[in-house]
């Protein structure tokens, strides 16, 4: 797919609606805050910025430049050894 055809079909690299992000703008009252991308993924939505609903602000959407946002990924954590032992003990009874 060429860049031009991707642009016309509405393809937008980067963030999508519903993505969790952290604000990394230096010298801002929102630096380090987390939120959710809330603007729609439609052609015509500016690619330079996204609207973010900051956690704890009752859904108020604030504009941020894409370069000032970083994605938050869910971390996978393995169960601790003690929890694994308890699980195997309870199934043995």
pTM: predicted TM-score of the whole model, two decimal places = 0.61
Which of the listed CATH numbers 2.40.30.10, 2.60.40.650, 3.40.50.10860, 2.30.30.30 matches domain 12-92? 2.30.30.30
pLDDT at 54 over 90: yes
- Give me the pLDDT at residue 46, please: 61
- Give me the pLDDT at residue 26, please: 84
Whole-number Å distance between alpha carbons of 20 and 83: 29
pLDDT at 65 over 70: yes
pLDDT at 68 over 50: yes
- Give me the pLDDT at residue 39, please: 85
How far does CA 70 lie from the centroid of its chain?
A: 7
> What beta strand segments (E) does 8-86 contain?
20-23, 34-37, 49-54, 61-65, 69-71
């Amino acid at each position: 797919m060429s860049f031009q055809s991707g642009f016309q079909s509405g393809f937008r690299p980067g963030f999508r609606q519903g993505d969790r992000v952290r604000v990394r703008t230096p010298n801002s009252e929102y630096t380090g805050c987390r939120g959710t991308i809330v603007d729609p993924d439609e052609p015509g939505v500016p690619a330079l910025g996204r609207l973010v609903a900051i956690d704890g602000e009752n859904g108020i959407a604030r504009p941020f430049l894409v370069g000032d946002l970083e994605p938050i990924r869910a971390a996978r954590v393995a169960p601790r050894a003690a929890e694994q032992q308890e699980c195997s003990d309870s199934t043995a009874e």
